[in-house]
Structure 1
Amino acid sequence: MTDVTRRTLLTAGMATAGLALPGVAFASSRPTLTHGVQTGDVTQHGAVLWTRSDRPARMLVEIARDPSFRHARRLRGPVLTPDTDGTGKLRLDHLPPGCEVHYRVVAEDLDGRVRSAALTGSFRTAPVGRADVRFTWSGDVAGQGWGINPDTGGMTAYRAMLDRDPHFFINSGDTVYADNPLQETVTLPDGRVWRNLVTPAKAKVAETLDEYRGQFAYNLLDDNVRAFAARVPTIAQWDDHEVVNNWYPGEILTLPQYTEKRVDVLAARAFQAFHEWQPIDARRAVDGRVYRSFTYGRHVEVFVVDMRSYKDANTAPRDGRGVVLGERQARWLVDGLTRSRATWKIVAADLPIGLTVPDGADIEGIANGRPGAPGGREHELAGVLRTLSRRGVRDVVWLTADVHYTAAHHYSPDRAAFTDFDPFWEFVSGPLHAGAFGPNALDPTFGPEAVFVHAPPRANLSPLEGFQHFGEVDIDGATGELTVHLRDGQGTALWSKTLRPSARG
C-alpha cells in the first residue's frame, strides 16, 4: 500500500463534510477523482459505473473492447455535485454479452475547460450460454477496530480475491462499520501494535449523513480495495453495521455514544450514503432498496435478499410467527426461484439460517436458539423452504457472511424438527477485513450439520492472525458442476466441495 499523505487525509475528510468549502482554495485547478472507480450490478449488456469528484464536475466516460481504447464509445455522464457527496453513476448499456469491456473516466469542470486525470478499469459482461463462471463472496469490512493498516499493506484479502480473477463479487453485508470508531493504535496481547489510518468520519460513530458517507469513503482509501473495485463488478447488499449493530426498524437506541436515538432516522441517512457510494442500480431493486436478482450465463442466477429492512424487533417473542424478509420479499424470492431457468439458484443472504445469533438476551438472527418446530423468524424461512420443495425447485445454494468465520452447513430433513423441505447447502465466509469470531451454535430446527468450520480460538482476533476469509464459487460450463472453495485471506483453499446439478426430466 502506498503511503497515505496529508492530502489523502484531507480528501477523505472532505468526503464527510461535503465538497468545496467556501473560501477554501483547491490545490489544483483541475477536478480530481478522489476514490477510484467501481462497477456493479453487471448484466449481459452492461454494468453500473461509479466515481467521485472533489468538486462539481461532469463525469465523462469512454468504453472500448481493448485497453488501447481504439474505436472507443464516448458517453456523457451525470454532473457530480455536493447533493450526492460528489459521487455519480452511469449505466453502461448496449454492450455484447460475455465480453471484456475497458473504461476510462474523467471529470470535466462545468465550464468545459479542464479535466481530471483519467482513471481506467475493466469488467466482463455476463455471458448467455454455458460458460465457465467464477465469483467470490464475503463481508464484514473494517470492523471491531481493525481498519487500514499501512504497515501490513492494508486490506490485503482484496488483493487475494483479485488474484483469483473472479467475474463478479457478492459483498454480503457489513460493507462498512459505521458504529465502530477506529483508534490510531491498538496494542495486541503479544505486545505488537496495530496502526490504523483514521479519518474524521471514522473517529466516532456515524450519525449524520456526512458521517455515514465517510464510512464508505474510508474503505476506498485502500489501494487493494480500489484495485479490486476497478476490475471486478460488485453486487452489494447491506446488513446491520451500515447503520448500527443489530438494528431493526422502529428501534430506539439506549447507547450513550448516540445523540440521535431513532434508528429509523439513522437508517435513512445510512441508506442514502450506501446508495451514493455503492455501484448499485436502484432501478433493478424490486422496491428501490436492496433486494434484486441477476443472471450470469446459463448456469447462475443470483438472488440478493435484504434481511434487515423488513425484520421484526429483536425483542419479539421467539415463538409465534416472526418476520425477516417480509411477505412481499418472501413471495418475490420463491416466485423468482421457481421461474429461474438457471442450473444454480444462488441466494445471497445477509444472515445465516441455522446459526443462533443473539442480541444480548434477545435474538438478532433467524434461528431462535430452540429445538423443535419453527418459531419466530424461522416460520418465514420454513414457508420459503416448504414452497420451494412443493414446487420442485432444486439446486438452491445459500451464501452468507455476518458471523466472522467460515463454514459449510448442510441442511437435511432427516436431522430436522421441521421436515417439509429438500436438503440444501449454506456456505458462510467472512470476515474480509475485521475481527474474527465464532463459531456460533447451530439451531437444530432445519437439521443443519457443520461439515467444515474454520474459526479463531478466541474472540476478535486481528487480521494478522490468519482468520480472514472469502468464498469462491466455480461453475464448469460444460457439466454445470458447482465447486465451492472456502479460502483464507491469502487465497489458500481451506476446504472445497463439488455439487452436481440434480437430474432434469
Structure 2
Amino acid sequence: MRQTLKFTRRHFLASAGAAGVVAGSGLAMPSISRAQSRPSFTHGVQSGDVDTSSGMAWVRADRPSHVDFEWATTESFKNARKLHPLTAMPESDFAVKRLLEGLPSDQDIFWRAVATDLTDVNGVSEPITGRFRTAPASRRSVKFTWSGDTVGQGWGIDESRGGMKAYGTMAKHQPDFFLHSGDTIYADGPLKESVDLKDGTVWKNIVTPEKSKVAETLDEYRGQWKYNLLDKNVRDLYASVPVFYQWDDHEVLNNWSSSKDLSADDRYTVKDIELLAARAARAYHEMTSIRYAPQEPGRVYRKIAYGPLVDVFFLDMRSYRGPNNDGMASALSPAAQMMGPEQIAWLKRELVNSNATWKVIAADMPLGLIVWDDFANAKGVEAVANGDNGPAKGRELEFADLLRFIKSAGVKNTVWLTADVHYTAAHHYSPDRAQFQDFEPFWEFVSGPIHAGTFGPNGLDMTFGPEVRFIKAPTEEQGQNLPPSAGLQFFGIVEVDGATEQMTVRLMDADDNELWSTTLDPQQSI
C-alpha cells in the first residue's frame, strides 16, 4: 500500500510555488538581488510520464533565464542532486521541461527550479517546487484517475463557482497519476465573459485575449494551455500529481483530419489544416510534461510502465488517420486507417512484451460509440464505429485486426479507458453479441467531461458487441451542453490491489459521489 507521508498535502501545496528552503541546496539566492528585477515562474509546475526511475518536470519563466533544477527524496532537500541548467527562451515561450533520471523506485520525489535572468546574474527567482512518487518496482497497490475534455463549449473558469472543481475533487484521492484522455484544451472554443443559464443565474468566465477567439497562431495555441493553468484547482493537482497526457481533436480544432475544410468558417483566417495542426502540436509539447520521443519528436503514442501491475499504452487516434468519410471501406487502406501501420505494429509488439498484470489501453476515442463528423446530419465517421452494426469496415478493420491479434497472441487483462463523448459509461464487449467475433471479451470505461459541456448519450454500434452496463448522461428534459454547474462532470478512479492484483474501476462525479463500480479479476497468462 502507498506509504503515508510525514507532512500533510495542505502543507506541501502551501509551499509549492512559494519560497522553499534554500540553505545548502546549491540553489541559494545571492545576497544582493533587486526584487523588481527577479524572474518569476508564471504557471505553476507540472510533472509527468513517471515510471520506476524517472519523470518529467515542467515550468515556465517570465523572461529569458537559466533554469536550475534539483531533486531530493525529502521535503527539506537535504542531499539534493543539482542538475545542469536549461535555458528558457522566447522560442519556447520561456517554457522548459527536464527529464529527472536515476530516481529510486516507489519514492516521493521533491523537485524544484530556480530561474536566473540571462541579463542580470543577481536577478534570481524564488524557488518553485513540485512533487511526485515514482512507480513501484514491487507489487504495491496503484491508484490513478482519468478523464478528458477541459474548458469546452464555452465553459471556462468561473471563480465564483469554485473554478474547475472536479480537478480539486480528484486531488483529494491522492492518485499516483492523472491520465488526461484528450481534449486537454479547446483551441477552437472561444469564451464569452458571461453566459445566461436556464436557472436564471449567470456563468462568468475569466477571459484572456487568446481565449476570446479560435487559436491560429503559435502564441494563440500556447495561450489555450496557459488559460487552463490559471485555475487554482488545476495548479494544485499538478503540483503533487503527475499528468499523463494524450490528445484528440480540440487541441487543434473540432474533428480535424485531412478532410477538414475551413473555407466557409469565417472564424479562421488560416485555412491550412496541416499548418494549424503543426502549430498546435508544437504548443502541446512545449506546454505539457509529456516526454519527447527521440525517434519521432512530437510523437504522442507511447507506453508508460508503472511497475509490475500496470502498463499504460497511450494511443494517438488523430495524427495518422485518413480523412473522415462514410467508414464503409471493405479493405484497409490509408484512407480507412485511424492509427496507421507503424503505430499498430508498435502496439502489438509492446502488448506482447508487457509483463504487467494489467494492460491499460488509453484511447482518445471510444470503440463502439457512434460519433459523427457532421452531427446534425449523422454523416461522416469521426471515431471508429460506422453505425451499420455489421461486419468490420473502414476504421473498424484496424481494430478488428488488433483484437484478433490480442486473442491469438494470448495477451491477457486488457482494459480500455477513454473520454471524448462528454458523459460517463461502462461498456462490456463480447463476441457473443458481435458481428466480428474473433476476440476475447473486454471492458471499455468512459469518463468526462472534467470541465466542459455535458452531452450524450451516443448510439452503440454492434460490430464488436458492446453492452452498456452503466451510463450517466443528460436526460432529454435536461438537454445538451449542460454547464459544469449542472453537476454532470465526471472522472474515473482505477485501483489495482497489490495483494490480489484485482482491478477496481469507479465512475465518479465532481462532487465525489461514486456512481458505479466493478472489480475485475486478473486472468493468468498461459
TM-score tier by shorter-chain length is over 0.9
2-structure distance, mates of 1:472, 1:193: 32
Given candidates 347, 370, 375, the residue that maps to 2:361 is 347
Check if 1:39 corresponds to 2:47: yes
Q: 1:125 to 1:436 in 2, by over 3 A?
A: same
Q: Give unmatched runs, 5+ long, in structure 1.
A: 1-25
Task: Work out the CA distance in 1 between the residues paired with 2:191 and 2:182.
Answer: 19
| Alignment pair present for 1:468 and 2:477 | no
Give 2:402's aligned residue: 384
Change (3 A) 1:302 1:286: farther
**In structure 2, C-alpha distance between the alignment counterparts of 1:466 and 1:34, rounded to whole Å:** 31
How far did 1:489 drift? 1.1
TM-score (norm 2): 0.89
For 1:49, give the aligned amino acid. A
Alpha-carbon shift at residue 27 of structure 1 (Å): 9.6
Distance 1:76 1:473 in 2: 37
CA distance in 2, matches of 1:347, 1:187: 39
The whole-number CA distance in structure 2 between the counterparts of 1:90 and 1:149 is 32
Q: Tell me which amino acid in the other structure corresponds to 1:282.
A: Y
Partner in structure 1 of residue 80 of structure 2: 72
- Cα separation, 1, equivalents of 2:158 and 2:84: 37
Task: Give the corresponding residue for 1:314.
Answer: 324
1:244 is displaced (CA, Å) by: 0.5
1:397-421 alpha-carbon deviations (Å, 9 max, x no partner): 0000000000000000000000000
Does structure 1 conserve the Cα–Cα contact (< 8 Å) formed by 2:410 and 2:525?
no
Post-superposition offset of 1:319: 3.2
CA contact (8 A) 2:389 2:461 kept: yes
Q: Secondary structure at the match of 2:188?
A: coil
1:71-470 to 2 correspondences below 5 Å: 71-110=79-118, 111-249=120-258, 251-254=260-263, 255-283=265-293, 288-320=298-330, 321=332, 322-360=336-374, 361-457=379-475, 458-470=479-491
CA contact (8 A) 1:399 1:427 kept: yes
Bigger shift: residues 71-80 or 371-380? 71-80
Query: Offset at 1:253?
Result: 1.6
One-letter identity of the residue aligned with 1:275: H
Asked whether the equivalents of residues 490 and 507 of structure 2 are also in contact (C-alpha less than 8 Å), the reply is: yes
TM-score by length of 1: 0.93
1:345-377 CA distance string (max 9 Å, x none): 000000000000001121111000111101110
1:51 and 2:59 matched: yes
How has the CA–CA distance of structure 1 residues 473 and 442 changed in structure 2, closer, same or farther, with 3 Å as cutoff? Answer: same
Q: Distance in 2 between matches of 1:239 and 1:486?
A: 22
Percent identity reads 53
Deviation at 1:114, TM superposition (A): 2.0
* Post-superposition offset of 1:117: 1.7
Specify whether residues 309 and 455 from structure 1 end up closer, same or farther in structure 2 by C-alpha distance, changes over 3 A only: same
Helix, strand or coil: the match of 1:113?
Answer: coil
> For residues 233-260 of structure 1, what are the alpha-carbon distances to aligned partners after superposition, in whole Å with 9 as ceiling and x for unaligned?
1110110000000001353323221111
Letter of the structure 1 residue corresponding to residue 494 of structure 2? V
Q: Quick one: distance in 2 between partners of 1:175 and 1:260?
A: 22
Residue 498 of structure 2: which of 467, 472, 477 is its match?
Answer: 477
Q: CA offsets per residue over residues 82-141 of structure 1, 9 Å max, x none?
A: 000010011111111110011122211124212112211210011112111001111100
Whole-angstrom CA distance in 2 between matches of 1:183 and 1:441: 31
Name the CA distance, whole Å, in 1 between partners of 2:88 and 2:455.
40
- 1: distance between equivalents of 2:254 and 2:438? 33
| Residue of structure 2 in register with 1:12 after alignment | none
Residues 250, 314 of structure 1: CA spacing in aligned structure 2 closer, same or farther, 3 A cutoff?
closer
Q: Partners in 2 of 1:67 and 1:448 — Cα distance? A: 48
Instruction: Write the distance in 1 (CA, Å) between the matches of 2:284 and 2:35.
Output: 29
Q: 1-side partners of 2:310 and 2:441: how far apart? A: 19
The letter of the residue matching 1:102 is F
Distance in 2 (alpha carbons) for counterparts of 1:76 and 1:499: 45
The alignment yields a C-alpha RMSD, in angstroms, of: 1.4
Q: What is the letter of the counterpart of residue 395 of structure 2?
A: R
Structure 2: 5+ residue runs without aligned partners?
1-33
* 272 and 286 in structure 1: CA distance in 2 versus 1, 3 angstrom threshold: closer
Q: 1:153 to 1:284 in 2, by over 3 A?
A: farther
Higher alpha-carbon deviation: 310-319 or 165-174? 310-319
Q: Which amino acid aligns with 1:477?
A: G
Q: Distance in 2 between matches of 1:281 and 1:306?
A: 14
1:466 is aligned with what amino acid? G
User: Is contact 1:348-1:399 (8 Å) kept?
Assistant: yes
- Please state whether the residue corresponding to 2:290 is helix, strand or coil: coil
| Counterpart Cα distance in 2 of 1:434 and 1:104 | 32
Q: Paired residues, what number?
A: 480
* Corresponding residue SS for 2:293: helix
**1:439-475 deviations in Å (ceiling 9; x for gaps):** 1000010000010001112210000011100111000
Is the 2:259–2:324 Cα contact (8 Å) retained in structure 1? no
Secondary structure of the corresponding residue to residue 414 of structure 1: helix
Deviation at 1:76, TM superposition (A): 2.9
Cα distance in structure 2, aligned partners of 1:503 and 1:294: 22
Contact 1:178 1:215 in 2 (8 A): yes
The CA deviation string for residues 296-333 of structure 1, in whole angstroms up to 9 with x for no partner, is: 11110000010000111112542323211101101111
